Structure 1
Amino acid sequence: MHIDSFSQHFAVIQDPRQSAKITYPLFDVLFLTVCATIAGMDGWEDIEDFGEAHLDWLQSKGLFREGLPVHDTIARVVSSVEPSQFQDCFLKWMQAVSASSEGELIAIDGKVLRGSYNREDRKSTIHMVSAFATANGVVMGQVKTQEKSNEITAIPELLKLLDVSGCLVSIDAMGCQTDIASQIVKQGGDYLLAVKGNQENLAKVVQKALAPVSQKNHTSTIGQGHGRVEAHEYHVLPATDIAAELPVWEGLKTIGVAIGYRLDSTGKESLDYRYYISSAELTPERFADAVRGHWEIESRLHWVLDVTMNEDACQIYRGNAAEVLAGVRHMALNMLRLETGKKASIRRKQKMAAMNSAYLEQVILAGINRLGKN
């Protein structure tokens, strides 16, 4: 494995410690933390134990020449890392290994780290707003916000970091803001924004226009599972007739509605209407794919982080550790997904990486090898 290829992106992170007192290099500790996270470790003691088990392998790569630090030292070093520097390295790495394709869907949504609060202030829990490329299931970037409501300010900051040119960016109703729509268009992308009551005039105009929508402009799906039957219809209309009423929404070209019908095992029925606006000219089929694709950020990212990588159960909050480790988990998940040699679940890949350093190296190389392809 070429550590140099990996370190070219992450070795530039500044070490805040006094150089004369450094026994364990910052890069060594960060690399250990990433490897341990790939292997399913989710606490400081777990990371130390993983390092002890794989010390020969790590030292064969030129790391930890003075031996392995104890978990308290690992915690202190990782907690001192400046999150913005780690984020910058993460973004440059992702831009190098995963070039966006024309029309790719990038879903943006926030997630709370439930165990990240300071034990003296339960309101200090942080939120991470992430950008998720649905085509290959990787995180393109993330930023932290202290409160759910601050996603409105976090989304523009995240967009500034991303190359969305030629992509369709989907955001839920929290991000349905004129400034955000304009920013996406100015950066060369298209937006697909969910419409709710937070934009009252927009919601009224869109709902009125779609009320008599023609059946020829729709696509539908029917599914059954978990004791219920679900049916979905997706309707779109050109925004030509209402564009004059909505001049503040830059580049508006399409409006759409996703209608969901559900019949559960008790016989209870429900009908749900979700409205959208977009700067792209969407067919019913592409609109349906994008609406369904947006929710993959819940099932393929947030759910995996919680259930497979135990993010919500993680009680680490010291210093910058919660934010840095959130980025490490995203990085680990990306590499596990980029490794396609084994057809296995993320959890099984983690177990194989924990038991077999050769497979761990294969996972890491899956990301590094992309450097030469993009």
Structure 2
Amino acid sequence: SRLDAEQFQLCFTRWVNSLCEVTEERFIAIDGKALRSSYDRNSRTSTIHMVSAFCAQNKLVLGQVKAEKKSNEITAIPELLRVLDLKGCLITIDAMGCQKEVAETIVNNGGDYLLAVKGNQKKLFHAIKSEFSALEDDLKESPLEQQHGRLEIREYRVIPAPKTEPFNDWSGIESIGQAISFRYDKTGKKCSLEYRYYISSKELNEETFATGVREHWGIENSLHWVLDTAFNEDACQIYRENAAQVLAVVRHMAVNMLRSDTTRKASIRRKTKMAAMEISYLEQILASMVSDEQ
């Protein structure tokens, strides 16, 4: 609880950078997660939110910052972006992070953005929707996907961004995209049709756009879900001073270490139990995540 949380986060980022070689065409998803039991019972402050950067290709946490509440994620995201190496990377963020300051920070740091657009940017949302309305009849035949008792069809379309308002207000904008998903739930026998819209500073083709949209949800499935199921993060009631924030970073370190170990095929949860019962395996995991310089 007495550790300087901000310095600890910087040490984490430097540690990850010393172990991972930065490659171009990386997809980095940024999203926030609440530590649900981290509220201070004495001062009755709200739970903290950790905004994390997650590399979709190698499933590693690259960095994180704290936001006091969900609405403060807007200010936390630029802070996180400034400590990351974004060169050659495509940064994906949900509608909460669709802000002009966020887009400008990414472009200024050598990266490209793919931002979801919803009602919080009403003028931009309706402008993109209008651009794609003329293409409604120009849909391709997409493959049918079957999984978890659902039938799904997805369609992705990308066009160059117009050079008019409100598009030219966004730093470096080059493309706008539309993701259409149709889902039929066999169990509940329900159908749903969803249209989602995006802006990007990169000249995307449909394949890269589709990959970016789908890889973004990896942070939910491969990080947030793992933190809750393998480490019981939401049930952790430690909250004094900086303890909750520091422990969140420690859990990210553990996820990176366990996921980088390829000697045994097992889930993160099972690997934690193996490391607890077998000291040689624990030493192997710790040693594998130390760089040559260290």
Measured against the shorter chain, the TM-score band is over 0.9
The match for 2:216 is 294
Deviation for aligned residue 1:216: 6.9
Is residue 2:149 matched to residue 1:254? no
Q: Which one has a bigger Cα radius of gyration?
A: 1
| CA distance 1:215–1:344, shift in 2 (3 Å) | farther
Query: Tell me, which stretches of 5 or more residues in structure 1 are unaligned?
Result: 1-78
Secondary structure of 1:372's counterpart equals coil
C-alpha distance in structure 2 between counterparts of 1:218 and 1:321, whole Å: 52
Whether the aligned pair in 2 keeps the contact of 1:219 and 1:235 (CA below 8 Å) is no
Is residue 2:50 matched to residue 1:107? no
C-alpha distance in structure 1 between counterparts of 2:141 and 2:70, whole Å: 34
Is residue 2:3 matched to residue 1:81? yes
| CA distance 1:217–1:138, shift in 2 (3 Å) | farther
Count of residues in Structure 1 that have an aligned counterpart in Structure 2: 292
| CA distance 1:309–1:219, shift in 2 (3 Å) | farther
Deviation for aligned residue 1:228: 2.1
| CA distance 1:92–1:282, shift in 2 (3 Å) | same
The match for 1:68 is none
Is residue 2:158 matched to residue 1:243? no
Alignment equivalent of 2:41, drawn from 105, 113, 119:
119
The match for 1:185 is 107
Alignment equivalent of 2:156, drawn from 234, 238, 255:
234
| CA distance 1:261–1:234, shift in 2 (3 Å) | same
| CA distance 1:103–1:292, shift in 2 (3 Å) | same
Residue type of the alignment partner of 1:253: E
RMSD over equivalenced CA pairs, Å? 1.8
Deviation for aligned residue 1:99: 2.4
Deviation for aligned residue 1:285: 0.9
Deviation for aligned residue 1:308: 1.2
C-alpha distance in structure 2 between counterparts of 1:136 and 1:218, whole Å: 31
Q: Summarize deviations over 1:33-62 as a string: whole Å, max 9, x none.
A: xxxxxxxxxxxxxxxxxxxxxxxxxxxxxx
Is residue 2:235 matched to residue 1:313? yes
Higher helix share: 1
Secondary structure of 2:127's counterpart equals helix
| CA distance 1:311–1:180, shift in 2 (3 Å) | same
Is residue 2:56 matched to residue 1:134? yes
Secondary structure of 1:80's counterpart equals coil
The match for 1:351 is 273
Is residue 2:86 matched to residue 1:150? no
| CA distance 1:99–1:216, shift in 2 (3 Å) | farther
Output the TM-score relative to the length of structure 2.
Answer: 0.95
Q: Summarize deviations over 1:262-288 as a string: whole Å, max 9, x none.
A: 111232111111100001111111111
Deviation for aligned residue 1:218: 6.1
Residue type of the alignment partner of 1:137: K
Secondary structure of 1:260's counterpart equals strand
| CA distance 1:219–1:83, shift in 2 (3 Å) | farther
Query: Tell me, which stretches of 5 or more residues in structure 2 are unaligned?
Result: none
Whether the aligned pair in 1 keeps the contact of 2:228 and 2:234 (CA below 8 Å) is yes
Higher strand share: 2
Whether the aligned pair in 1 keeps the contact of 2:229 and 2:269 (CA below 8 Å) is no
Is residue 2:260 matched to residue 1:338? yes
C-alpha distance in structure 1 between counterparts of 2:138 and 2:88, whole Å: 28
